[in-house]
Amino acid sequence: MPKMKPCKSASKRFKRTSTGRVKRGQSHRSHILTKKSTKRKRQLRSPLAVHAADTGLIQRMLPY
């Protein structure tokens, strides 16, 4: 049986942690940064865990 291919767009957006959870980056960090406060931009840096309802979809897109 051939290897399953991952969804390339999902592999660029999500990473799997050592415990098996999925983390993601936050939006609103790419442009129009002048009107956003320093605190807001700093808090958008940290990754978040994907919601439990969506982890099954993402794990299907990233089989390995």
DSSP for the chain, please give it: -PPPPP-HHHHHHEEE-TTS-EEE--SS-SS--TTS-HHHHHHHHS-EEPPTTTHHHHHHH---
21 part of a folded domain: yes
47 part of a folded domain: yes
> Which structural domain range is residue 53 located in?
8-61
1 part of a folded domain: no
End-to-end CA distance of the chain: 15
2 part of a folded domain: no
| CATH number of the domain encompassing residue 17 | 4.10.410.60
Asked if pLDDT for residue 1 goes beyond 90, the answer is no
Q: Please give the pLDDT value at position 31.
A: 95
Q: Please give the pLDDT value at position 49.
A: 96
Our count of domains for the chain comes to 1
3 part of a folded domain: no
Q: Please give the pLDDT value at position 6.
A: 95
Q: What are residue 34's phi and psi, to 5 degrees? A: -70, -35
For the segment 3-61, what is each residue's pLDDT rounded down to a tens digit? Answer: 999 999 999 999 999 998 999 999 999 999 999 999 999 999 999 999 999 999 999 99
Does the predicted model carry a pTM greater than 0.85?
no
16 part of a folded domain: yes
